[in-house]
Structure 1
Amino acid sequence: MPRRFRLLIAAVAFGAMTVPAHAATVTIVMENLVISPAEVSAKVGDTVAWVNKDVVAHTATARNGDFDVMIQPKQTASTVLKKAGNVDYYCRFHPNMKATLKIAP
């Protein structure tokens, strides 16, 4: 009986390790030279989709160098978040466009 119990525990533990976490997609809109929302919470592994509704190109450039995404006019671009922390980012073409991603582990 103890051997079966150990096998059962091992099987449950292995199954828990192989269950994939469901990543979310966080949508951020750039419109009228404003990033909205200006502060977003996400988790490592989530995808951020930047939607550019303007007629000019924008970037989402992390001040810490984690990402630098070009978003063409009337297009969407995305990136997957790789590490936790608060990341301030801005548009290189329009530095007044600023926002923050709060990324949880």
Structure 2
Amino acid sequence: MSSINRRDFGIAVVATMLLPVTAARAEDTAVHIDNFSFTPPQLDVKVGTTVTWTNRDDIPHTVVCAGKFRSKTMDTDGTFSFTFTEPGEYKYFCSLHPHMTGSVKVG
């Protein structure tokens, strides 16, 4: 093996060794808004997870967690995403229909 090939081989080995670390990162999670409810209504996620809410209803909705995040009004097929960077429980609701509630527990 020439020195260039050994160097390239070493870089490839190091890059391959890093792949499992990347794969272990938190994943994205989806919540659907349908029939005046959040589905699933409760989530348990890891720190770093991005949750995306998608409005599947025929009418507008929002996603609000007091002091943490607030979506704009989402029409049908509208989306809102938030990345949870700190552990804790995040209770949220629709400001247009306050009986609609959900929560995300980040651990």
TM-score of the aligned structures, taking structure 1 as reference length: 0.73
**TM-score normalized by structure 2?**
0.72
Q: Give aligned pairs, total.
A: 87
Q: What does residue 91 of structure 2 align with?
A: 88
- 1:62 to 2:62 alignment: no
- Sequence identity, in percent? 30
Using the alignment, how far apart are the partners of 1:79 and 1:51 within structure 2? 12
Gaps of 5+ in 1: 1-14
Aligned partner of 2:43 in structure 1 is 40
RMSD across aligned positions (CA)? 1.8
**Residue of structure 2 aligned with 1:77, choices 55, 74, 80:** 80
Q: Give structure 1 regions of 4+ aligned residues with deviation exceeding 6 angstroms.
A: none
8 Å Cα contact 1:69-1:79 kept in structure 2: no
Q: Secondary structure at the match of 2:62?
A: strand
**Which structure 2 segments of 5+ residues have no match?**
1-16
CA distance in 1, matches of 2:27, 2:83: 10
Q: CA deviation at 1:77?
A: 2.0
Equivalent position amino acid for 2:71 in 1:
V
